[in-house]
């Protein structure tokens, strides 16, 4: 593009650049991401099926600049979230679970049923267990309903800072 150029002078650019500084845009946006992440965390935890509480307490969040994450490192979380194909699980933990739920001696029968049918994904809705969708998928679905108001809040906060 030798010999060809374009110069653009935007009146008020210095003022606009100043308005787009950290406090005006970045801070309200980061605060909004924090609120959205914490809302999702609450929804996922509330939807997590509970036996002894390990899975629910293992769901955590992390907020970085312009990124919010909700997740877990609990080994069996993906099985609750997605379900499993038929497999023969170890009987001992199944028996421990069965005993906690008043089904002493049923561990082998439950393991055998899992070997034939697998397990279904599950989440909690209100006080009942719902099969077919895990807690993260359910939480994201519920977040969609809350997102418009959360985004409006970010917009209001940015406008408030911009108008200062």
Average pLDDT in the 9-22 region? 69
The mean pLDDT of the chain is: 87
27-60 pLDDT tens trace: 888 899 899 999 999 999 999 999 999 999 999 9
Long-range contact pairs involving 111-115 (C-beta distance under 8 Å, separation at least 24) = 112/88, 114/84, 114/86, 114/87, 114/88, 114/89, 115/86, 115/87, 115/88, 115/89
103-144 pLDDT tens trace: 999 999 999 999 999 999 999 988 888 998 999 999 999 999
What phi and psi values does residue 134 have, to the nearest 5 degrees?
-85, 175
Q: What percent of the chain has pLDDT over 70?
A: 90
- pLDDT reading at 10 higher than 80: no
pTM for this entry: 0.81
């Amino acid at each position: 593009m030798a010999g060809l150029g374009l110069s653009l002078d935007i009146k008020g650019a210095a003022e606009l650049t100043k308005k787009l500084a950290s406090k005006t845009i970045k801070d309200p946006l980061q605060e909004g991401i924090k609120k959205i992440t914490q809302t999702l965390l609450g929804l996922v935890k509330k939807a997590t099926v509970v036996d002894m509480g390990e899975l629910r307490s293992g769901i955590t969040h992390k907020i970085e600049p312009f990124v919010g994450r909700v997740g877990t490192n609990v080994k069996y979380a993906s099985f609750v979230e997605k379900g499993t194909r038929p497999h023969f699980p170890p009987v001992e933990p199944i028996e421990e679970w069965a005993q906690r739920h008043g089904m002493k001696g049923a561990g082998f029968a439950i393991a055998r049923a899992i070997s034939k049918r697998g397990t279904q994904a599950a989440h909690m809705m209100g006080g009942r267990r719902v099969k077919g969708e895990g807690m993260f998928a359910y939480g994201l679905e519920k977040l969609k309903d809350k997102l418009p108001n959360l985004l409006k809040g970010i917009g209001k906060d940015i406008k408030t800072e911009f108008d200062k």
